[in-house]
């Protein structure tokens, strides 16, 4: 469904992704693993075209995304949940959801506010609160809910478990599994191998912006030397 | 009591147009991060377009239809400007768009002059609303009462649009993080265009609504612009209630000022603004600017290196050519060259704080005009010799910069810029209204150099030595540890603080130095012209310097000088034509679109591509 082929991305003159390639199949939950600074967030942004790759291809359902405006990428059914959440702090929960709202799309779930409030009960209670009045965990839920309002068929989750309480991390894991059961495809980036083990089918490990491992989690578990080399445990 | 209430009502009525223009400016800034200098021009267009429509459409229905249509038409003109002028430069360095909007001002000024002529237009009376109503025995124009009713409705409509509709939600979201709004599937281009339409339509509406009160003239654009900046700063950037409150405050005080303190109406407005900002630095309802927007990381700053041997040779050759000018040039070219030299020093001083310090000042003319007036006043009232006056001019300008800098540097970004503009306007209004001392609009005249320097050639050499010295001194400061500290404070204030640099103090010192250097230029200017008028302190003068710095190139040291030569040279040619503003405006817009790195930056890029200069990569 998503194919990254020899992508090279830069921040100014800094070469962040070098010849990165991997694929994600429809219906999979894929975990993009790597240390701090390995290029996980840049990969996500390079898919969304928030960072435009200098070379290579990002194919989504057969179309090359490179060079498209981010709103066009979103319109094709890719939902992006940024690492630093980036909720609109002056807007209420309902207004944040409104910004994300897009028409329904063939072949994927059409989310309503009520469905999202079922998924994230905390948000229902705080629907008229402003973004800045919410805790980190609640903001994380809101940013996911906001992206789901666009009815994506593929969700990019950048470090969903970062900086939130363990009980909420568990809730995040349940949400991701539910998205999978609804037929959505998910690519999530993680430093936390335990979280990835709980939700992901396949893992892609990157280091220095290049792919070092691509396989199922069972295969990864069978090769502890890879884990030790590229992931801090 | 009746008089008091009548005054209050007039003040409230005057607030209407001001609020509409200010809220439009505020909306556009919030979403696009562009300070639209041309906003006053759209206000002016609204008045003229409304006037023409009223000539065609008869009766009360025609009158009100004309006002609405004027808003729509001006909004559409705004859309054309947004698509043709601003879209190509959204990706240019921040604040570069300012220069483009200044080009738009010039173009609209001349197009208005072409279409409607130079004569002031008398506004038609509103049918059915002529005459006055007596309130407690005092006459209040009926039209004022109508405005009193209309403005809150416009404000309410706007408030509903922003807080209760999807468009409003998107606008508010984009004000905070427009990239994220795009990533959620919203087409930013259309959002920007839509906001521009709305903002310009509001300005046009304001212009048309005030027709029966003030008519239309070609000075409306700048006149309202200052007041609008003040309103936006007092109310807080991006706050509609703030804009409304501040517009009422300024208008009511204006009306009472005319009655009780006719000599200080202009000054009053700025004094209030400074007072508000001392207590609430981001305006009544504003919030601190969010530092560091999310987005793509741009090209890293290219380090500024000391000139290499080849560059030194070019500069030396240029100076030699200049020094020989009396041999081959006419008297006229010498005068022009003196003007350009003085202007280059002025521009270089702004470049010093803007390019190296990242401090965008909209009011640098305060120090140029300030220096000029210090010298002129000294000569007029104390018979000071030229030599001493030239020394005291930078001292006076530097002192002013120390005081103004102390207040302004408490703020950052666009608030800093607007505050500097307000201070320069404060100085201007002081000079303009304090006629007993400054002779106001008549200016100070008969300020000639000492006998030995009175010849054109000698004065040219004097200017050459002082201006070159000043520019080289600024260049030297840029490469001194002080310059490093200044650049560090620009690039990362926190990091600089952590390494032990007192960033505010460094910026303050730089601001004072730049002010003093502008004062040197101002002093030289007075003696070269023999006179000085308040317009040396005007916004237009500050804008001249801004345009030069941006056109020349913010990120290059030579930018100020090259831009100065280019602008003064081009102006000298263009002002011979009737519609020179149009030509200059178009030229500025074209340069902004074609050469977003400025003249020097773009020339360097081209030279590198053609292999004349070594690129940054090879330099490592």
Give the per-residue pLDDT at A19. Answer: 93
How, if at all, do strands A29-33 and A185-190 pair?
parallel
CB proximity list for A1: less than 8 A, separation 6 or greater: A24, A25, A26, A60, A61, A154, A185
3-state secondary structure B567-587: HHHHHHHHCCCCCHHHHHHHH
Nearest to A71 among B187, B296, B300 (CB): B187
pLDDT of residue B277: 78
Question: Hey, of B164, B176, B180, which one would you mutate to test binding to chain A, going by the most A CBs within 10 A of its CB?
Answer: B180
- Among B181, B186, B297, the residue with its CB nearest the CB of A11 is B297
Q: CB–CB of B182 and A70 under 8 A?
A: yes
- Residue A146 near residue A97 (C-beta atoms within 8 A): yes
Distance from CA of A74 to the nearest CA of B (A): 5
Structure confidence at residue B491 (pLDDT): 79
> What pLDDT was estimated at residue B618?
40
Any bridge partners for residue A11, and if so which?
Answer: A14
Domain-embedded: residue B288: no
CA–CA distance, B261 with B151 (Å, rounded to integer): 27
Q: What pLDDT band is residue B402 in, cutting at 50, 70 and 90?
A: very high
Q: Calculate ∠ Cα A199-A202-A205, nearest 5°.
A: 110
* Beta strands per DSSP E along B136-196: 138-141
What length is written for chain A?
A: 233
Has residue B577 been placed in a domain?
no
pLDDT at B292: 42
Q: What are phi and psi of A132, to 5 degrees?
A: -75, -10
Chain B residues whose CB is inside 8 A of the A51 CB are 296
Residue B298 is predicted with a pLDDT of 43
Task: Please report the DSSP string for B307-358 in residue order.
Answer: --HHHHHHHHHHHHHHHTHHHHS-HHHHHHHHHHHHHHHHHHHHHIIIIIT-
Q: Are A188 and A160 in contact (CB under 8 A)?
A: yes
Kindly identify which residue of chain B lies nearest to residue A149, measuring between CA atoms: B184
Structure tokens at A111: 């989310």
CB–CB contact B176 A89 (8 Å):
yes
Gap from B596 CA to chain A (nearest CA, Å): 17
With residue B444 as reference, give the H or E element that holds it.
strand B444-445
Q: Distance between CA A132 and CA A4 in Å, rounded?
A: 36
Residues 6+ apart with CB under 8 A from B74: B42, B45, B46, B49, B200, B201, B203, B204, B205, B207
**The predicted structure's pLDDT at residue B322:** 80
- Contact between A60 and A2 under an 8 Å Cβ cutoff? The reply is yes
Q: A225: distance to nearest CA of chain B, Å?
A: 35
Length, in residues, of chain B: 620
B181 with B319, same domain? no
The minimum CA-CA distance between A25 and chain B, rounded to whole Å, is 23
Q: What pLDDT is stored for residue B313 in this prediction?
A: 82
Residues of A in contact with B186 (CB under 8 A): 71, 99
Give the CA diameter of chain A. Answer: 49
At B619 the pLDDT is 38
Residue B491 with chain A: CB contacts under 8 Å: none
User: Nearest residue of B to residue A103 by CA position?
Assistant: B185
The alpha carbon of residue B439 and the mean position of all alpha carbons in its chain are separated, in whole angstroms, by 25
Nearest to B523 by CA among B322, B377, B325, B333: B377
Listed residue (A200, A129, A138, A210) closest to A171, CA to CA: A138
% of chain B beyond a pLDDT of 90? 25
ipTM over 0.85: yes
Which of A71, A73, A150 has the CB atom closest to B188's CB atom? A71
| Residue % of chain B over a pLDDT of 70 | 93
End-to-end CA distance of chain A: 31
| B344 in the same domain as B399 | yes
Q: How far is A229 from chain B (nearest CA, A)?
A: 30
Low-confidence ranges of chain A (pLDDT < 70): 232-233
Using a CB-CB cut-off of 8 Å, the residues of chain A touching B185 are: 71, 74-75, 100, 102, 150
Neighbours of B387 (CB within 10 A): 12
On chain B, the residues whose CB falls within 8 A of the CB of A150 are 184-185
Question: Would you call B241 helix, strand, or coil by DSSP?
Answer: helix
- Whether pLDDT at B401 is above 90: yes
Pairing state between β A202-207 and B132-135: unpaired
What Cα–Cα distance (Å) separates residue B499 from each residue in B356, B477, B485, B491? 18, 20, 10, 13
For the cut 70, the answer to whether the pLDDT of residue B94 exceeds it is no
The span from the CA of B215 to the CA of B221, in Å, is: 13
Write out chain A residues lying below 8 Å of B169, CB-based. Answer: 91, 95, 98-99
Q: Do A99 and B187 touch (CB under 8 A)?
A: no
| pLDDT band at B131; cut points 50, 70, 90 | confident
Does one domain contain both B229 and B348?
no
Q: Which residue ranges make up each domain of chain A?
A: 2-230
**Chain B partners within 8 Å of A86 (Cβ):** 177, 180, 294
The CA distances from residue B269 to B14, B231, B263, in Å, are 14, 9, 12
**B303/A contact by beta carbon, under 8 A:** no
B45 and B110 together in one domain:
yes
pLDDT higher than 80, residue B597 = no
Distance from CA of B287 to the nearest CA of A (A): 11
Are B274 and B420 found together in one domain?
A: no
d(CA B551, CA B544): 10
- B580: which 2 tokens? 């020179």
The Cα–Cα gap between B404 and A37 comes to: 44
**In three state form, how does the secondary structure of A81-111 look?**
ECCCCCCCCCCEHHHHHHHHCCCCCCCCCCC
Instruction: Give the confidence band of B620 by pLDDT, cuts at 50, 70, 90.
Output: very low
Distance from C-alpha of B604 to C-alpha of B120, rounded to nearest angstrom: 47
The answer to whether the Cβ–Cβ distance between B172 and A95 falls below 8 Å is yes
Using CA atoms, how far residue B317 sits from B323, B341, B457, B474, in Å, is 10, 16, 20, 20
What pLDDT, in 10s, does the model give residues B349-380?
A: 998 888 888 888 888 999 999 999 998 888 88
**Cα–Cα distance between B393 and B130 in angstroms, integer?**
53
Considering the domain boundaries, does residue B544 fall inside one? no
In the predicted model, what is the mean pLDDT of chain B?
84
- Neighbour tally for B572: CB within 10 Å: 13
Q: Which residue of A has its CA nearest to B179?
A: A50
Taking an 8 Å cut-off on Cβ atoms, the answer to whether A12 and B297 are in contact is yes
Helix (H) or strand (E) holding A64: strand A63-64
* pLDDT of B381 strictly over 80: yes
For residues B264 and B374, membership in a common domain is answered with: no
Backbone angles phi, psi at A24, to 5 degrees: -125, 125
Closest CA to B470 of B390, B535, B570, B408: B390
**Cβ contact A69–B187 (<8 Å):** yes
Token pair for residue B449? Answer: 């150099």
**Interface-testing mutation among A67, A76, A88, A153, with chain B (most B C-beta atoms within 10 A):** A88
CA atoms in the 13 A half-sphere facing the CB of B232:
31
pLDDT per position as a tens digit, B454-497:
788 888 888 888 888 898 898 888 888 888 888 888 877 788 88
Tell me the residue range of the domain where B185 lies. Answer: 2-279
Question: Mean pLDDT across the stretch B273-301?
Answer: 64
CB contacts, 8 Å: A52 with chain B:
296
Question: 3-state secondary structure string, B421-436?
Answer: HHHHHHHHHHHHHCHH
Residues of A in contact with B188 (CB under 8 A): 69, 71
Please report which residue ranges of B492-558 form alpha helices under DSSP H.
Answer: 493-498, 503-529, 539-552
Residue B299 lies in a domain: no
Domain count across chain B: 2
Check if B300 contacts A (Cβ < 8 Å). yes
What residue has token string 């400007």?
A: B81
The residues, any chain, with a CB within 8 Å of residue B46's CB and separated by 6 or more, are B70, B71, B74, B203, B204, B205, B206, B207, B208
Set of chain B residues whose Cβ sits within 8 Å of the Cβ of A11: 296-297
In this predicted structure, the answer to whether residue B434 has a pLDDT above a threshold of 90 is: no
* Mean pLDDT in residue range B545-554: 79
Residues of chain B with Cβ-Cβ distance to A70 below 8 Å are: 179, 182-183
Nearest CA in chain B to A93: B169
Q: Give pLDDT, residue B440.
A: 79
Does CATH place domain A2-230 in 3.30.160.270? no
> What is the DSSP code string of B220-255?
HHHHHHHHHHHHHHHH-TT-HHHHHHHHHHHHHHHH
Average pLDDT (B417-443) is 82
- Chain centre distance of CA B599: 21
- Going across the sheet that includes A63-64, the strands are A14-24, A2-11, A55-60, A63-64
pLDDT of residue B602: 78
Under a CB-based contact definition with an 8 Å cutoff, are residues B336 and B534 in contact? no
> What letter does residue B563 receive in the DSSP assignment?
H
* Interface probe, candidates B31, B167, B185, chain A, greatest A C-beta count within 10 A: B185
Rounded Cα distance between B32 and A37, Å, is 31
For residues B289 and B287, what is the distance between their CA atoms, to the nearest angstrom?
6
pLDDT for A199: 92
B180 touches chain A (CB under 8 A): yes
Chain A contacts in chain B segment 150-169 (CB below 8 A):
166, 169
Q: What is the mean pLDDT of residues B129-158?
A: 87
Question: Under an 8 A CB cutoff, do A12 and B172 touch?
Answer: no
pLDDT at B293 over 50: no
Say yes or no to pLDDT of B398 above 80.
Answer: yes
């Amino acid at each position: 469904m998503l194919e990254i082929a020899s992508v090279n991305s830069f921040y100014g003159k800094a070469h962040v992704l070098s010849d990165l390639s991997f694929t994600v199949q429809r219906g999979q939950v894929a975990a993009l693993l790597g240390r701090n600074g390995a290029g996980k967030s840049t990969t996500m942004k390079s898919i969304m075209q928030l960072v435009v790759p200098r070379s290579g291809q990002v194919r989504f359902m057969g179309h090359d995304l490179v060079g498209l405006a981010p709103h066009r990428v979103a319109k094709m059914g890719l939902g992006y949940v940024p690492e630093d959440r980036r909720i609109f702090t002056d807007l209420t929960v309902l207004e944040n959801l409104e910004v994300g709202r897009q028409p329904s799309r063939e072949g994927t779930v059409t989310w309503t506010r009520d469905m999202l409030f079922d998924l994230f009960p905390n948000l229902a209670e705080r629907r008229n609160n402003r973004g800045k009045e919410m805790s980190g965990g609640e903001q994380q839920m809101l940013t996911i809910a906001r992206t789901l309002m666009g009815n994506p068929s593929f969700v990019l989750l950048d470090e969903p478990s970062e900086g939130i309480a363990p009980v909420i991390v568990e809730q995040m894991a349940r949400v991701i599994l539910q998205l999978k059961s609804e037929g959505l495809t998910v690519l999530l980036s993680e430093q936390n191998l335990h979280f990835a083990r709980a939700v992901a089918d396949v893992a892609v490990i990157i280091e220095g912006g290049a792919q070092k491992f691509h396989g199922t989690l069972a295969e990864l578990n069978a090769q502890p030397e890879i884990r030790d080399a590229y992931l801090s445990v | 009591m009746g008089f008091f209430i009548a005054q209050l009502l007039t003040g409230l009525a005057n607030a209407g147009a001001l609020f509409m223009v200010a809220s439009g400016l505020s909306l556009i800034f919030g979403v696009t991060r562009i300070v639209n200098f041309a906003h006053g021009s759209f206000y002016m267009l609204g008045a003229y377009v409304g006037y023409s429509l009223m000539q065609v459409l008869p009766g009360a229905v025609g009158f009100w239809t004309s006002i609405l249509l004027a808003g729509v038409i001006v909004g559409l003109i705004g859309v054309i400007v947004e698509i043709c002028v601003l879209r190509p430069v959204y990706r240019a360095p921040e604040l570069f768009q300012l220069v483009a909007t200044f080009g738009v001002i010039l173009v609209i000024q001349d197009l208005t002059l072409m279409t409607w002529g130079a004569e002031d237009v008398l506004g038609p009376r509103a049918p059915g609303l002529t005459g006055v109503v007596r309130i407690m025995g005092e006459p209040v124009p009926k039209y004022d009462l109508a405005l009193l009713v209309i403005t809150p409705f416009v404000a309410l409509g706007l408030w509903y649009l922003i807080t209760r509709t999807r468009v409003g939600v998107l606008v508010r979201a984009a004000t905070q993080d427009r990239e994220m709004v795009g990533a959620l599937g919203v087409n930013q281009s259309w959002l920007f265009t839509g906001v521009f339409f709305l903002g310009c339509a509001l300005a046009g509406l304001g212009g048309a609504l005030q027709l029966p009160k003030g008519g239309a003239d070609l000075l409306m654009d700048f006149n309202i612009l200052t007041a609008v900046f003040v309103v936006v700063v007092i109310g807080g950037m991006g706050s509609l209630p703030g804009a409304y409150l501040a517009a009422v405050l300024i208008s009511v005080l204006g009306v009472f000022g005319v009655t009780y303190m006719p000599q200080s109406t202009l000054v009053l407005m700025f004094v209030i603004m400074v007072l508000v900002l001392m207590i609430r630095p981001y305006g009544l309802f504003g919030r601190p600017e969010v530092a560091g927007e999310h987005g793509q990381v741009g090209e890293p700053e290219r380090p500024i290196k000391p000139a290499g041997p080849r560059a030194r040779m070019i500069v030396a050759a240029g100076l030699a050519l200049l020094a020989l000018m009396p041999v081959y040039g006419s008297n006229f070219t010498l005068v022009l060259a003196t003007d350009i030299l003085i202007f280059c020093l002025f521009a270089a001083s702004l470049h010093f704080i803007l390019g190296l310090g990242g401090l965008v000042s909209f009011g640098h003319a305060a120090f140029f005009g300030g220096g000029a007036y210090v010298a002129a006043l000294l000569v007029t009232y104390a018979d000071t010799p030229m030599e001493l006056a030239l020394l005291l001019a930078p001292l006076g300008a530097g002192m002013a910069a120390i005081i103004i800098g102390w207040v302004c540097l408490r703020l950052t970004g666009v608030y800093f810029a607007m505050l500097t503009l307000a201070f320069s306007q404060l100085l201007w209004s002081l000079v303009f209204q304090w006629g007993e001392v400054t002779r106001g609009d008549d200016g100070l005249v008969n300020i000639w150099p000492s006998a030995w320097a009175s010849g054109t050639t000698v004065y040219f050499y004097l200017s050459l030595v002082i201006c070159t010295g000043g520019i080289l001194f600024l260049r030297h400061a840029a490469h001194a540890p002080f310059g490093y500290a200044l650049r560090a404070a620009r690039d990362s204030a926190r990091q600089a603080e952590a390494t032990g640099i007192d960033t505010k103090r460094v910026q303050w010192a730089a601001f004072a130095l730049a002010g003093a250097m502008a004062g040197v230029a101002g002093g030289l200017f007075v003696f070269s012209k023999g006179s000085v008028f308040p317009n040396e302190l005007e916004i237009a003068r500050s804008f001249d310097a801004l345009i030069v710095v941006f056109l020349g190139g913010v990120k290059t040291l030579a930018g100020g000088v090259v831009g100065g030569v280019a602008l003064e040279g081009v102006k000298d040619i263009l002002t011979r034509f009737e519609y020179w503003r149009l030509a200059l405006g178009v030229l500025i817009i074209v340069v902004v679109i074609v050469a977003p790195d400025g003249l020097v930056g773009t020339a360097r890029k081209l030279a590198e591509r053609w292999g004349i200069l070594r690129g940054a990569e090879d330099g490592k």
